[in-house]
Amino acid sequence: MDYRQLGASGLRVPALSFGTGTFGGKGPLFGAWGQSDAADARRLLDICLDAGVTLFDTADVYSEGASEEVLGAAIKGRRDAVLLSTKTGLPLGDGPQDWGASRSRLITAVEASLRRLGTDRIDLLQLHAHDSHTPTEEVMQTLDRLIAAGKVRYAGVSNYPGWQLMKAQALADRHGWPRLVAHQVYYSLIGRAYEWELMPLAQDQGVGALVWSPLGWGRLTGRIGRDRPVPAGSRLHDTARYAPPVEDDHLYRVVDALEGVAAETGRTVPQVAINWLLRRPTVASVIVGARDEAQLRDNLGAVGWALSPEQIATLDSASEQLPPYPHTPYRQQEGFARLAPRLV
């Protein structure tokens, strides 16, 4: 397993990490994702650790806290062998203190996550969404205090607008608070909007990307194609309304390219899709999930080999879309293109 620095921090994370949205299985969304109990989770963690996957991602909202509880039971006795990432900020109830990133909510949420995880520290705490009702100064100062108390080691965000992420970094610099080092983002061959603004910002500000749903909400598994509709047992039947949208023509064009590259490399479609992501700028770790051992082992096969430049170009071409304004001219007009951000 390749290990990478998480943004401009000293934390080294594996190129692949494991998402535990399938643990617990409560509610219409997470119940459809999976229902792994503690015994199932321990088997999956064994496979991950044997492969060098040491970062495990969860959230307090996953199955109403059950995901954290199952993960905590699965790591019992081996806490020092793993990195724990969790998220907070989305509503857990209808009360005024049940959502957001106020000082009161963050402190309460961290204490609750620590109890559910059965640990004294969270290696990476991410704000699950931007809370426009709480001043950014209050959020960043609270994160500073949680880090100083040793309850949180590093802080990041998820699904954040670029200007709010930049504002948070500026305030951290002004007050000497710890900077945000991670941004958990949706990024896949059928969802490349991350590249238009958030990727250049991440490169400039030293923020590592943790990629969620690298297979486009289950659409890039190889089971869906131009002449293959969503299979009967797919979770998409129950969860498509929550998924980032994609037009059928674009999906099929990407799947056609993936299948061609998979045939050339002798790899599976998911392995090719994940490997492509691992070559992208700012990507620190790709979060893979699995409902069973076979699915996990297939995802783990995405590392240890490389796509050729020609294969990458094929996937780039098939998946490219014209970005929205103000990015459009930088793709369409020569004068603008020369001024576009350089990504390495």
- The catalytic residue positions are 62
- DSSP one-letter string for 281-324: TTEEEEEE--SSHHHHHHHHTTSSS---HHHHHHHHHHH--PPP
CA dihedral 263, 219, 209, 101 (to 10 degrees): -170
Q: CB–CB of 57/287 below 8 Å?
A: yes
List, in order, residues 6 or more apart from 183 with CB less than 8 Å away: 156, 157, 158, 160, 165, 198, 202, 207, 208, 209, 210
Of 189, 41, 191, 173, residue with least CA distance to 117 = 41
Q: CB–CB of 182/156 below 8 Å?
A: yes
Distance, in Å, from the CA atom of 166 to the CA atom of 282, rounded to the nearest integer, reads 16
Look up residue 337 and give its amino acid: A
Distance, in Å, from the CA atom of 166 to the CA atom of 164, rounded to the nearest integer, reads 5
| Residue 4: strand pairing partners | 13
Distance, in Å, from the CA atom of 280 to the CA atom of 192, rounded to the nearest integer, reads 11
Residue 71 CB coordination number (10 Å): 29
What tokens appear for 178 in the block?
């710890």
- DSSP one-letter string for 230-288: PPTT-THHHHGGGSPP--HHHHHHHHHHHHHHHHHHT--HHHHHHHHHHTSTTEEEEEE
Distance, in Å, from the CA atom of 221 to the CA atom of 289, rounded to the nearest integer, reads 12
| Residue 218: strand pairing partners | none
Q: Does residue 68 sit in helix, strand or coil?
A: helix
